[in-house]
Structure 1
Amino acid sequence: MRTLFSIFFLMVLAGFSLSAQPQVTTAKEGTEAKPAIEFPVRMHDFGKVKSGDQAFYYFVFTNSGEAPLVISNVRSSCGCTVPQWPRVPILGGQSDSIRVEYNTRIKGSFNKTITVFSNATGSGVGLVIKGNVTD
């Protein structure tokens, strides 16, 4: 019985000594570094484009956050618009671009949306290209 009491007493004593240790915090909640994507231009108007000519535009963006920005996907609203984006992380403060090309073999007016998905807050940024393909 004495052994059982001694073990119980040591466990209680150990519990009190652990709770008396200072708490160590490494970072305040909500202050971790995050990426942020900023596009100074979100819409480009090609105007009139001759059928068969190249029609592409570079949407420049900046990672205004502190953590590396990773663009996971860029989707266009149809197969007539082809986006190309950087596949490597963009460090905080750095800039890069997304190239968007429209197929000018399709005649007539166009207004296409390109959506950029990344690890930044508010992912799903919309970009727009528009114009008119003529003969």
Structure 2
Amino acid sequence: MKTLKLSTLALVGAFFFVAQGASAQTATAKKAAAAPAATAATQEAPKNMTPSGITWKEDTHNFGDIEKGKPVSHEFTFKNTTKQTVLITNVKASCGCTATNYTKTPVKPGESATVTATFNAASPGSFTKNVTVTTNDSDVNKILTIKGKVLAPATEAAPVTAPTAN
């Protein structure tokens, strides 16, 4: 009787493993069949990987040595050298210590526009920060860079007092 129970238990266990394996194979086959459709859906519209046709006056600015606690700004300028109207769709700084502002109106061919980066010099040391600019004429983003060195404020020497006689 004990042998019969063990045999039945072993048979049920074997059946369970076989059923799980078949279920896993079915799920894998369904995923494989759906994969080509998903791949095709993600490749519907080809991306415009040609760099933007706008011309930047500069893409890096070095502030040099700046004082701690005094924000500094630089205005990057570009000219629309394309044959279409360009719109800046997004400007994103690499960290919260850099604020941005930019021309929000459409830029017609031949016109110029700006992107301003303001760095909050909160802690001493060298810095390099990026600002990513996205436009409607290309899927390739433009990276603008600001850099410099924040100087620690000079500390005033404490006045020296002469020892007092008691």
Instruction: Give the structure-2-normalised TM-score.
Output: 0.58
* Gapped regions of structure 1 (runs ≥ 5): 1-34
* 1:61-87 deviation line (CA, Å, top 9, x unaligned): 011011111000011110111110111
Local SS of the residue matching 2:95: coil
Aligned to 1:126: 143
* 1:27-76 deviation line (CA, Å, top 9, x unaligned): xxxxxxxx722112000000100112231100000110111110000111
Structure that is richer in helix per residue: 2
Bigger Cα displacement from structure 2, 115-124 vs 100-109: 115-124
1:72 equivalenced with 2:89 (yes/no): yes
Aligned to 1:48: 65
Aligned to 1:8: none
The equivalences for 1:76-115 within 5 A come to 76-115=93-132
Instruction: Give the structure-1-normalised TM-score.
Output: 0.70
Which structure has the bigger radius of gyration?
A: 2
RMSD, aligned CA: 1.3
1:61 equivalenced with 2:78 (yes/no): yes
Deviating runs (4+, > 3 A) in structure 1? Answer: none
**CA separation in 2, counterparts of 1:127 and 1:46?**
14
**Contact kept? 1:110, 1:132, Cα under 8 Å:** yes
Structure that is richer in strand per residue: 1
* Gapped regions of structure 2 (runs ≥ 5): 1-51, 153-166
**Identical counterparts, % of pairs:** 32
Aligned residue pairs total: 101
**TM-fit CA distance, 1:91:** 0.5
